[in-house]
């Protein structure tokens, strides 16, 4: 994972992925609590997710946003798409991301779409298999994006030229 520390001058946009309501039955009646999963990103390759739990929805969203800003990674986005295809899983959720040509758009559902758009990916084909739980889908998608490497990074890690990476 390419962890990133940000300054306050970077503008992060938050997206609410899902809100879950839980009920606890006590002697005095029912107590509701809310869990909100939030994705933040600058739409330029920096992305993070957070989970907030509270007695009110707005407080849970704020806690999730604060947690997401502490959990940021850098994703290589090349001309609005991904550098290569990637498969990842988290829990029962499995995701497959594939780069697409310009004009394709974000072909992804629900939780994956929020993550990819927050990262600044404009053209991608994505498929989720297994669990459709938004918590695990967000984590699996961010795991897949965290494993992405562009050609310059690969060349630097191997200590070879960029043409050697492509041509062998």
Q: How confident is the model at residue 14, as a pLDDT?
A: 92
Q: How confident is the model at residue 89, as a pLDDT?
A: 93
* Spans of the chain, pLDDT less than 70: 1-2, 4-9
What is the rounded CA–CA span in Å between residue 18 and residue 86?
24
Q: How confident is the model at residue 164, as a pLDDT?
A: 81
Q: How confident is the model at residue 139, as a pLDDT?
A: 94
Q: What is the DSSP string of 93-127?
A: EEEEEEE--TT--EE--HHHHHHHHHHT--SEEEE
pLDDT in tens, 32-75: 999 999 999 998 889 999 999 999 999 999 999 999 999 899 99
DSSP letter at 72 equals: E
Q: How confident is the model at residue 27, as a pLDDT?
A: 92
Cα-flanking dihedrals φ and ψ of residue 161, to 5°?
-80, 165
What is the rounded CA–CA span in Å between residue 73 and residue 77?
12
Q: How confident is the model at residue 8, as a pLDDT?
A: 64
Cα distances (Å, whole numbers) of residue 37 to 90, 92, 102, 164: 16, 18, 30, 42
Task: Specify the pTM.
Answer: 0.89
Mapping DSSP to helix (H, G, I), strand (E, B) and coil, where does residue 15 land?
Answer: strand
């Amino acid at each position: 994972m390419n962890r990133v520390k940000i300054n306050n001058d970077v503008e992060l946009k938050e997206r609410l992925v899902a809100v879950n309501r839980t009920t606890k039955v006590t002697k005095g009646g029912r107590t509701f609590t809310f869990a909100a999963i939030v994705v933040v990103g600058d739409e330029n390759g920096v992305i993070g997710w957070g989970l907030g739990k509270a007695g009110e929805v707005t407080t849970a969203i704020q806690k999730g946003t604060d947690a997401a800003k502490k959990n940021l990674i850098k994703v290589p986005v090349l001309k609005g798409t991904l550098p290569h295809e990637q498969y990842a899983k988290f829990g029962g959720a499995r995701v497959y991301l594939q780069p697409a040509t310009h004009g394709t758009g974000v072909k992804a559902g629900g939780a994956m779409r929020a993550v990819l758009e927050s990262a600044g990916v404009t053209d991608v084909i994505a498929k989720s298999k297994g669990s459709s739980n938004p918590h695990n889908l967000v984590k699996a998608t961010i795991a897949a994006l965290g494993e992405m490497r562009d050609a310059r990074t690969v060349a630097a890690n191997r200590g070879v030229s960029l043409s050697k990476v492509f041509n062998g």
